[in-house]
Structure 1
Amino acid sequence: MQQNLAEWGKGSPRGLAFCVTILATLLSSLSTFLFSKGLILYLTSHSNRPAPLINFLTVSSLSRGAPLVSRHHISWTILSLLALVLMNSLTASFTTILTPTPLIVNVPIKGFEFNMFSEKYVHLMANRQEGNSFPRPNSEQRRISRQGAAVIGPLELAAAYTSASRQLGYPGVINFLGTSFNSTTAGVVSAVAARKEDALDADSDRPLTLNFRDLKSPFKFVDPSFKPSKKFTFNFTTIQQGFTADVRCQALPQNPTAQQPGLSVLFDSNVTLPDQTLNSLWRYFVQCPSQGLPSAPSNKSILINPVGSMILSHTCFNTNFEGSSVLGSQLLILGGYGPMYSFITPRACEFTPYSTLVEVQYSNIANVSRIISREPITPATAAVASRMYGAVLDATEQYVVSFRNKFGDDICALYGISSQLESTNDPLLNTILEAYLRGLVETRASTTKTPPIASAPGHLLAASLQDLSPEWLRSFDGIWSYETLGWHNAYESIKSTVIGIVPILLITTTTIFLVLFSWLSLKGTRHLRDEPFDPNNLVTLLQAGRDGSVVDILGHRKNLDSALGRDVRIQLHRHATQWQLRPVKAV
């Protein structure tokens, strides 16, 4: 159905129903008329030959739109009733077929986004000094960068918390660039229609600023003439580049060997700061795993308020649990100390990053419905993955004061939902840490790909995607799905159409059979209207009654209300399977 007509039908459902009913009634009346003409033609073809009386009675009744009711001919009575039901159901049948139903139409879209694993960007991340050759941002670009930097950290922590709460059965949304993501961004930058007139429609019901729209990954309709309707609901699905990491956590051995990961903490001394605040100086030693010679333990120190709690952590770069050197993989060793974090016993979390291709469904929220493919990080792309891991370093080392840590507070809150803080539940703690840390790196991937894109600290690669040449970008495909009115071949629609078309097919088939059979029977004979009027012929009487005139024996047409017509009466007598006509003079 044309879009303007569908919009009218959507806005005026009663008007649409009225028009459909009028058209269905017209077609039904036409079908009934043709069926009646076919029956009359059938009677005409038998005007000069004997036939069973019940046949003529049935056909004659149906030609007038009435059933035959005879207790001596049950089968013919049932047949006439069925035929009458079919005739009377034609309007409903045509209405069923002609009424448009809600229809989902898919329109292809095509867009482009920043390719975090393009050859040029991979080279730039592996050679960070080359990023200094790019220009410095101007004042407006610096303002936007400062705004972005101010929200990136809290956004990543909020996204990590939401991802972990979803793992515990408490889903939530992440607001990023004006789009609400369902629990995780999956390393994706949300997409938006490139045309200004379409963009407001494509961003659900959330009012967005111009800056938000310019920061998203734009797409266009493959058919440039397509204009989305504002009167129908819609959603769209894209296949975009994402980023994730498999995170696996496990408790550290209590007495590690020289090749195993380990974490130990020792009290050093009490320290009084210039503001007369008493703090405790703690030293902690972290040992990274190794398959060869034991690695030297890292010696670190930290000041903690005597009543405070702290997360202590250290990263073993490009290393896994077994101590193997794997570019791109990281091993985070951490432990919690103090009354609030004591349940976080020393453990290690291994990160295995992946470049992904994900399906994202955009409606009121953006939902990463499935991961289509996952490509492991190669030595060439390890530098890109290491940058995503920076979100973990920021979360564990920033937002720290002398008595608590934001990262630790989040883990404490999540752990307290399902368990007592005084208890130890390693599987639960590992599940929370794995989901939380995965949420951090996925969100960092989204913010990294969001303009303005930095080439190095203080240097700008591009202020917008339009400023980048094609080798920095990748295209993505998708489908814009919107609801309209029309006719389609959905399973439920097929069933209703088949049911609705049965009466039409039966009536049409019967009419065609009657016409063809009668035409072949009358072929080579004169038309009934050319025959002299015969009061002994039932068909000529039916014809005369229908035409409103009769033909006398001389071939002259006379009105039915003539003396001859008024005196004609018919009395039917049954004789075997044939019938006879006996004129009876009117009294």
Structure 2
Amino acid sequence: MASAAGGLTLDDLPLSKILPTPKTIKDLQNKVNWNFNNQLFNPYHVIPIAVLVGQTLLLTFSWAFFAMTLSQPVTLSYSTATYVQKNYQTVTLIVTLIATFLSVCSMILYAGAIRYALARTLAGSSTTLYVIFASIHISKATPIKNLIRPHWTLLSLVCALAVNFQTAGFTTLLLPKPISLPTTMLGTELDMSSPPFQALMVTNAAKLVPGKCILASRRPFLTSLRSLDYFAHVLSLSEASGTNVASTRFALPSFLNFNHFSYANGTMGVLPHSLEDVNSNLLSSTGNIVPSTVSTRNKQGQVVQPKQAPAGLPVQYTVIQQGFTADVSCSTQVLNATTSPSVVLSSITNKIFDTNLTLAQLAVVCPGDTVVGTSTPVITSVNVDAVYGAVCGPYNNTQGRQQWSKFNSRICVCAMVLIVAFKLDLVLTGSGMYKPFGTVICSVFPKITTIAVDYSVNSKLFNSTSPNFLNSSHPVISSMDAPWLGDFATGIFLQGLYVGQGILGNSMGDSILAFWQALPDPVQFANEVMADYIRGVLELSGTLLRTAYAEDGNGLFPNGSSTPPANMLVTTNGTHSVTTIGWHQNPATSAGILVAPTFVSLMSMILILVILFKRRHHPEPRTNHYFDPGDVLHIMSAATAGGLAHKLPSLDEKSVRNSDKMRIALAPVDGENSRPGFVLLHDENDNGGNSPTDPDGYTSVPQT
């Protein structure tokens, strides 16, 4: 065949040309069996080192991260926080994968520690077959379903829960979440209770008090429009402010917008604190600047910029500051020209172009006076659907509340419909929309208050990036009577009443009438609604007054200055809070998130340390070093080595219960350096005694 093919066959070649040399065979064996000769990769040494180092690193990382985020919040950068906010589901997935990886690493080390300890116990002395069964269950984090040894069953259940709860613990620890960053706020504002400011109000009365009156006896009457232009741009807010406060009685949330701020259920007479300058339209239609008078401070008291919050997360702060309100109580009385106070309505009707218009006016004589005070005349239709107002006072307070100039302001609001015959000396009958008001007298006691004001970004209602939503509905911290503000506050109310008057009706009257019609018992609650409405307008007057004194270029302070002197300032303080994304732990509850990972790590490390300490003077044959009781192939190899021949019970017997009576060891079955196998040392089911062991604890099995 070879010659026919014209070449050589394998039979023609010497074996040395085909087979590798002995040196090559030895080198190949060394490469294949590297784990038997290389101590570095020997499981006997690698597993305890890996468990101790790995679990120490996991413990150190977990508790260091926990401690770092417990002591103070750790925030993400603005760009990263914004990304997390917009992609929270993706971030949660990534963090969960990381937590799962850490949990799997911990579980591998935990299982390795238990199997290592079991292998060393089998090789060192012996253990029952039940312990082998239970240990393998525990290493796999599966509970034991029998109660032969209840403590083993309980231990397996605890270990199974701890191992499987690790992912939840790591996820809770590592997942960034919304956190609040509080910062101290300090500032100043106008102190309307200071004596210098009280004197300043007298000086500025002609400029600020709307319709500053001609003095008659001891009583001022609002009879002119001398100062109307000063607040002309904002007087229309009076109706909205009264409605804003009255709505709370009906559990209706309402908002008043003024100077880029929204007030919930009333202004409470405060000037909003802003961290930046605000444009105000109080003194001019083009607007003036209200400078910022508050700043955020760090723990050292240094001014710092507040941290930005990603879109959609709240920025809020609470400031303790000064406000203004009034105690208002109203009662319905029947008044006419002969009562005290006396009320007389006068009107003149004329035809202008093709329309009949009526000019009407309220004349009031207050108790103890003879001089008649008149309200500002209003132009209305021939039906005279109008609301009038005048002020009587100040008076001495019978309750002992000391007030400036003995001021006790009384707003006399008379709402009537004058028939044409009366105006033209003709008697006609008729009714009007405001007739249900009758004549109402409301006692007003102005007060300066100290209140807590919450500023927030209400992103659910509108898109805003700065805290411009105010809620000052907290209980008043303190208050004091402020009669020196009575002229101004009631003047704002009366001018708002005047501005709201039109030919077809009065806006304030329409609002109050709408509330009255919603009352289940108008007779009982009508005066309370009226009092709430008036209080809302008076609180707005406090906000307007503070704004006037705060704007740049106001020129209202001594020597024409626009900046309040130090003796007219009061300190304000509060807490600024930004919600951003980062890590922070709650000291009261967050320590529980690391219970499971810590238990698993400590159990693994303690198990390794204990078994190393117990076996430190008992070396094992190298053939035992690679035995893994968690590997089914290793178990089959050890079980079929010959040491358990005809010793195990059949499957139809109570194998689990019998296994608790069988002590098993791992030892060379066919003499020294032979492969290791399971050897039955003691079986309480048999009458035979224990198998002999050598001084190192290894079973001596005769060779067959």
TM-score (norm 1): 0.73
Matched with 1:556 is none
Counterparts of 1:543 and 1:312, CA distance in 2:
99
- Per-residue deviation, 1:470: 3.6
The question of whether the paired residues in 1 share the 8 Å contact of 2:365 and 2:372 is answered with yes
Amino acid at match of 1:356: T
426-435 or 315-324: bigger deviation:
315-324
Is residue 2:315 matched to residue 1:234? yes
Counterparts of 1:444 and 1:159, CA distance in 2:
10
The question of whether the paired residues in 2 share the 8 Å contact of 1:311 and 1:334 is answered with yes
1:174-253 residue pairs with structure 2 within 5 A?
Answer: 174-194=256-276, 214-215=289-290, 217-223=292-298, 224=304, 226-231=306-311, 232-252=313-333
Cα distance change, pair 59–478 in 1 and its aligned pair in 2 (3 A): same
Counterparts of 2:75 and 2:194, CA distance in 1:
43
Amino acid at match of 1:111: G
Amino acid at match of 1:13: Y
Amino acid at match of 1:229: A
Is residue 2:197 matched to residue 1:121? yes
The question of whether the paired residues in 2 share the 8 Å contact of 1:234 and 1:482 is answered with yes
Counterparts of 2:560 and 2:260, CA distance in 1:
17
Q: Deviations over 1:23-69 (max 9, x none)?
A: 42443244334434543246536744444442244335645777777
- Per-residue deviation, 1:429: 2.4
The question of whether the paired residues in 2 share the 8 Å contact of 1:163 and 1:184 is answered with yes
Counterparts of 1:368 and 1:211, CA distance in 2:
29
Cα distance change, pair 459–212 in 1 and its aligned pair in 2 (3 A): closer
Q: Which has the higher strand share?
A: 1
Matched with 1:335 is 414
User: 1:193 aligns to what SS in structure 2?
Assistant: coil
Q: Deviations over 1:378-410 (max 9, x none)?
A: xxx532343222212323455546775444343
Q: Deviations over 1:539-561 (max 9, x none)?
A: 88559999x9xxxxxxxxxxx9x
Matched with 2:389 is 313
Counterparts of 1:534 and 1:281, CA distance in 2:
117
Q: Deviations over 1:68-117 (max 9, x none)?
A: 77796676466446534533443333223322332222222223333333
- Per-residue deviation, 1:175: 1.0
The question of whether the paired residues in 1 share the 8 Å contact of 2:270 and 2:323 is answered with yes
The question of whether the paired residues in 2 share the 8 Å contact of 1:263 and 1:346 is answered with no
Match for 2:578 among 482, 494, 500? 482
The question of whether the paired residues in 1 share the 8 Å contact of 2:415 and 2:434 is answered with yes
Unaligned runs of 5+ in 2: 1-73, 209-226, 299-303, 418-431, 459-468, 635-667, 692-698
Is residue 2:187 matched to residue 1:111? yes
Cα distance change, pair 271–21 in 1 and its aligned pair in 2 (3 A): closer
Cα distance change, pair 57–386 in 1 and its aligned pair in 2 (3 A): same
Matched with 2:470 is 366
Matched with 2:438 is 345
The question of whether the paired residues in 2 share the 8 Å contact of 1:87 and 1:507 is answered with yes
Counterparts of 2:502 and 2:89, CA distance in 1:
66
Matched with 2:95 is 20
Counterparts of 1:442 and 1:453, CA distance in 2:
17
- Per-residue deviation, 1:300: 4.8
Matched with 1:10 is 85
Aligned residues: 526
- Per-residue deviation, 1:446: 0.8
The question of whether the paired residues in 2 share the 8 Å contact of 1:182 and 1:367 is answered with yes
Matched with 1:553 is none
Matched with 2:245 is 163
Counterparts of 1:94 and 1:282, CA distance in 2:
78
User: 2:274 aligns to what SS in structure 1?
Assistant: strand
Match for 1:83 among 143, 148, 159? 159
Amino acid at match of 1:348: I
The question of whether the paired residues in 2 share the 8 Å contact of 1:567 and 1:585 is answered with no
- Per-residue deviation, 1:297: 6.7
Unaligned runs of 5+ in 1: 133-144, 204-208, 289-293, 549-559
The question of whether the paired residues in 2 share the 8 Å contact of 1:321 and 1:350 is answered with no
The question of whether the paired residues in 2 share the 8 Å contact of 1:53 and 1:579 is answered with no
User: 1:245 aligns to what SS in structure 2?
Assistant: strand
- Per-residue deviation, 1:568: 4.8
The question of whether the paired residues in 2 share the 8 Å contact of 1:124 and 1:455 is answered with no
Cα distance change, pair 212–220 in 1 and its aligned pair in 2 (3 A): farther
Match for 2:370 among 293, 296, 307? 296
The question of whether the paired residues in 1 share the 8 Å contact of 2:75 and 2:580 is answered with no
- Per-residue deviation, 1:192: 1.9
Counterparts of 1:131 and 1:250, CA distance in 2:
33
Counterparts of 1:322 and 1:243, CA distance in 2:
23
Counterparts of 2:234 and 2:348, CA distance in 1:
36
Cα distance change, pair 245–574 in 1 and its aligned pair in 2 (3 A): same
The question of whether the paired residues in 2 share the 8 Å contact of 1:243 and 1:356 is answered with yes
TM-score (norm 2): 0.62
The question of whether the paired residues in 2 share the 8 Å contact of 1:43 and 1:59 is answered with no
Amino acid at match of 2:572: F
Amino acid at match of 2:678: I
Amino acid at match of 1:20: V
Matched with 1:263 is 342
Counterparts of 1:84 and 1:582, CA distance in 2:
38
Cα distance change, pair 435–179 in 1 and its aligned pair in 2 (3 A): same
The question of whether the paired residues in 2 share the 8 Å contact of 1:50 and 1:579 is answered with no
Q: Deviations over 1:247-297 (max 9, x none)?
A: 100122679998xx4334377x97657879585888755342xxxxx4437
- Per-residue deviation, 1:187: 0.8
- Per-residue deviation, 1:181: 1.2
Matched with 2:540 is 443
367-376 or 40-49: bigger deviation:
40-49
Counterparts of 2:342 and 2:141, CA distance in 1:
96
Matched with 1:206 is none
Amino acid at match of 1:370: H
Matched with 2:589 is 494
Counterparts of 2:175 and 2:257, CA distance in 1:
42
The question of whether the paired residues in 2 share the 8 Å contact of 1:317 and 1:330 is answered with yes
The question of whether the paired residues in 1 share the 8 Å contact of 2:95 and 2:174 is answered with yes
Cα distance change, pair 514–406 in 1 and its aligned pair in 2 (3 A): closer
Counterparts of 1:308 and 1:120, CA distance in 2:
45
Amino acid at match of 2:473: S
Matched with 1:291 is none
- Per-residue deviation, 1:177: 0.1
